[in-house]
Amino acid sequence: MNLKGKTMMFYVSTLAALLVVLTAFSALSFHYFSIYAAEMHARSVAETVKLGLTESMIHGTIDKRQQFLARLSAVPGVRQVRVIRGPAVVSQFGPGIALDHAGVKNGGETGGIDLAMATGKASFEKASTGGELVYRALIPYVANDLGTPNCLQCHAVSVGTVLGVVAIDIPLAENRRNSILAVGLISLAVLLAALAGLAILRRMMNPLSDTAHAVQEVTAQAVGGDFSGRIQQRSADELGAIALNINHLMEFLDREVTTIRTRVGQLMGHHLNDGGNQLALTAEMVEGLVTVSQFKQAIEEDQTKLDIYLRIADVLGQKYDFKRFSIYEVAASKNRMTPILVDGEIGVTCRYCDPQITVDSSFCRARRTGHEVNAVDFPGLCTMFRPAEAGDSHICLPITQTGTAGCVVQMVIAAEHAPLARLLAPFVAVYLREAGPVLEAKRLMEHLRENSLRDAMTGLYNRRFLEEYIGTLVSGTQRRKSSIAVLMLDLDFFKQVNDTHGHEVGDKVLKALADVLLRNVRSSDIAVRYGGEEFLLALMDTGAEGGMKVAEKIRAEIEATKIPIAGGMLQKTISIGVAEFPGDSDTFWQIVKFADVALYAAKAGGRNRVVRFTPEMWDVNAHY
């Protein structure tokens, strides 16, 4: 029920209750008033009877009293008047007129008369005479000696003797009719006044009810994100002020929410349409921007690019529920794409793209254009996509770094999830846009760090790298209960090359040696330019015997390598010392010293040879 209905119901209920109470109170009041009036009327008639009888006795006309009583009975408002003599009067003057005793003989009022005779006090009661309701007054006539003449002059009685009882019947029907009529008129007047008040109230309630209904509609639209509703100003009072203020509020909200929505859309790089609950969508997008800000702060504190990729995977899988996705990293220098994460797994091969993109990244449309590839709206847009299931589509979002796509995030979408994926893609793009600069900074830092740990000329790791990472390598070897073969290598007579042919040829020889080393070690092994023409190899999970084989292979290849120089070819030899960790010592740097001792033994033994370290070679005074 609305406000107007509730108010009208309350008003009608209150008026109905008041009308009932007023009617009942009026009826009760008229009832008591009519009884009181009848009693006063009866007392007046009784006094008249007393005076009339006294006058009749004085003038000797007491035998005419019946006519007198008959005349009194004809008075309006009097039904019947009788005088019932008391025992003292009966004994002195006789029983009187038979009509006066008719009621007594019938037994209808004996009790009341006897009580009045005995107590000398008047009594009043309702009675029925001839089917008519009357108010009967039984008023005793008590002898006294006051006044002239007094009762004792005529009656042989003492003072206080009850001479008789005057019985007066006052009809109540007329009083009842008059009371009912009066109560009815009063109730009618109140009802008419109430109806008039109801009409006035209804007229006054219309603006309030209409304004309240309009407020309800406008606020309901506002909750739904629509602030275009307005309220008609129906009056210049408080209701008009409420309507005016709500209209101002709606205008303010419409303007400000539109501004916020536009600005948020600009931040997201996405145009928001006018459909749906704009307030809820705007709030959701603002909340998304807050989450993105927290995401950016988190990835800025991450140590490696992989940590950032894992966070992106968490956003895709946990926040937006993409179960199938790939994250590719582009190696700009080699124009290749490497799958970093596929469906949350690290280091796996392509699953939803042609492997050709890993060889030549230009085949990837998102990588080549730097724009979103939306195959949901434009099926077949990218020819490199390889759906795992029928009906699959995809959205690829590039992560821009230094103006080009440094990474590509691919989301694989089933047909039934396409509409939702289309809505979520802009939100994902915001995360990727924030991740781009951070990934670029991490890549630059890794590049700088990589350069600081590598020898600029040969591309091999330098001694600093060995000092920083050897602890990690040793811990892994000890955990696996494996071994490391350490090879110390030094070119024979390298100083003569620089002295004879110059440092440019010397650098060329060092580069050739580095190429030979890289060809003969695995990706898990470590090749270090230890200093000048001295190099170190750490062969992981390899014992001394395996190290000897690798060393001999390297020695032979170096000896056979011909380096073109001005005026001919240059061939060099190399000496190699081999030691084993932890077989020769449980301290890695001690193993490096042992390998160096073996290297000196190779030099002393005529060069161009491989020597395995033995304890007998260790001579502290001779070498250290």
Q: What is the pLDDT of residue 544?
A: 92
Alpha helices in 370-417 (DSSP H): none
Alpha helices in 454-543 (DSSP H): 463-480, 494-501, 503-519
Q: How far apart are CA 232 and CA 218, in angstroms?
A: 11
Where exactly are the structural domains of the chain?
Answer: 3-177, 230-291, 302-451, 461-623
491 and 529 Cβ atoms separated by less than 8 Å: no
Q: What is the pTM of this model?
A: 0.48
Which of helix, strand or coil describes residue 380?
coil
**Two structure tokens written together for 437:** 């600069």
Q: What is the pLDDT of residue 373?
A: 94
Using CB atoms within 10 A of its CB, is residue 594 exposed (0-12), middle (13-18) or buried (19+)?
Answer: buried
Q: How far apart are CA 356 and CA 364, in angstroms?
A: 9
Other Cβ atoms less than 10 A from the Cβ of 70: the count is 12
* Residues of the chain with confidence (pLDDT) below 70: 1-4, 60, 63, 65, 96-111, 148-149, 265-278, 332-334, 447-452, 619-624
Antiparallel, parallel or unpaired: β 393-401 and 563-565? unpaired
- Rounded to 10 degrees, what is the CA torsion of 248, 253, 256, 258? -120
- Burial code of 364-390, b = ≥16 C-beta within 10 A, e = fewer? bbbbbeeeebbbbeeeebbebbeeeee
Query: Looking at domain 461-623, which CATH architecture does it have?
Result: 2-Layer Sandwich (3.30)
Other Cβ atoms less than 10 A from the Cβ of 359: the count is 12
Q: What is the pLDDT of residue 312?
A: 93
172: nearest Cα among 26, 42, 44, 83: 42
Q: What is the pLDDT of residue 110?
A: 57
Q: How far apart are CA 540 and CA 469, in angstroms?
A: 13
Q: How many CA atoms lie within 13 A of 137 on its CB side?
A: 27
Residue type, 540: M
Domain pair 3-177 / 302-451, same fold: yes
Q: What is the pLDDT of residue 103?
A: 47
Q: Residue 325 forms beta bridges with which residues?
A: 411
DSSP letters spanning 53-104? HHHHHHHT-GGGHHHHHHHHHTSTT--EEEEEE-HHHHHHH-S--GGGGHHH
518 and 509 Cβ atoms separated by less than 8 Å: no
CATH topology assigned to domain 302-451: Beta-Lactamase (3.30.450)
Q: How far apart are CA 313 and CA 343, in angstroms?
A: 8
Which of helix, strand or coil describes residue 495?
helix
100: nearest Cα among 65, 134, 132: 65
Q: What is the pLDDT of residue 104?
A: 44
**Two structure tokens written together for 576:** 């190699």
Cα-Cα-Cα-Cα dihedral sign, residues 530, 536, 537, 543: negative
Query: Looking at domain 3-177, which CATH architecture does it have?
Result: 2-Layer Sandwich (3.30)
Could you tell me how many residues make up the chain? 624
Q: What is the pLDDT of residue 108?
A: 47
Residues 6+ apart with CB under 8 A from 68: 52, 53, 56
**Two structure tokens written together for 174:** 């007329």
Antiparallel, parallel or unpaired: β 563-565 and 534-540? unpaired
Query: C-alpha distances in angstroms, 488 versus 89, 366, 436, 530, 553?
Result: 166, 47, 43, 9, 14
**Two structure tokens written together for 226:** 């629509």
461 and 529 Cβ atoms separated by less than 8 Å: yes
